[in-house]
Amino acid sequence: MLRRAIGKFIRHPGGMVGLGLFLALVCIAVFAPAIAPYDPLRVDPIAALTPPSAEHWMGTDTLGRDVMSRVIHGTRISLRLGVISVSIGLSLGVLIGVLAGYLGGRVDGILMRFIDMLLAFPSLILALVAVFALGPGLTNAMIAVGISAIPAFARITRGEVLSAKENLYVQSAQALGGSEVTIMVRHILPNIIAPNIVMGALMTGTAILAGAALSFLGLGAQSPTPEWGLMLSQGRGFMSLAWWLTFFPGLGIMLTVMAMNLLGDGLRDVLDPRIR
């Protein structure tokens, strides 16, 4: 079955483009110190606001720092932010979803009203509230974005659990006297992984965008961290004077989010049983 899924994914052009872009970004992130031509924090006031040139391919910023080196190092931060915050959202969301779906009754009622409450707020507003409570900073931004991703994972998991619960193999496990934890972990969890992987890929793009938005608002990464959202924010007063300050970090965000969305779409087409 896995081989068939891989085969199907390989024939999915959008998914392959997304995967290719994603792998390229991962390589850039891993080898950033080797690829970046300069130290991303090196200040050189004399070279401030140099347009793109042979020496500085993406120009320099107001402090003379090399924009290309900062964009390359920014890939690390953005991918890390995306992966960590989605991991937070996924693990807590799946936990809530499995408990609510499997146990049902009052537990389901309480947990799902809590999720409904979180869903009532747009995810960026939720992240803003969380970061206000936790204080600005990259780590807190990751937690905040992670919290804002919980409802999506919880709802999808609960739905899958509700349908999995009706399967014969679960009912047999129950009849054989398996403990609820064992049933949840061994029988239910493996069956709800696929939709969560798809959701995780799609949410990574959203999370990167939300993290950049928080940094843009001054609530995420702090200076002098080479974070794309922060670079956009600092460059926005120079749009007419130095376009390269916003263009390249913007391009970075766009490509990463596009990669994650294409990858997520591809995975959905391959893994979603309704489409399959």
> At its nearest, how many Å lie between another protein and the CB of residue 185?
42
> At its nearest, how many Å lie between another protein and the CB of residue 63?
6
> At its nearest, how many Å lie between another protein and the CB of residue 76?
19
Nearer to another protein, 67 or 79 (CB): 67
Nearer to another protein, 4 or 42 (CB): 42
Nearer to another protein, 63 or 258 (CB): 63
Contact by Cβ (8 Å): 89, 152: yes
> At its nearest, how many Å lie between another protein and the CB of residue 44?
9
Nearer to another protein, 174 or 222 (CB): 222
Nearer to another protein, 104 or 137 (CB): 137
> At its nearest, how many Å lie between another protein and the CB of residue 103?
42
Interaction site with another protein (CB under 8 A): 41-43, 45, 48, 62-63, 136, 218, 222-224, 234, 236-241
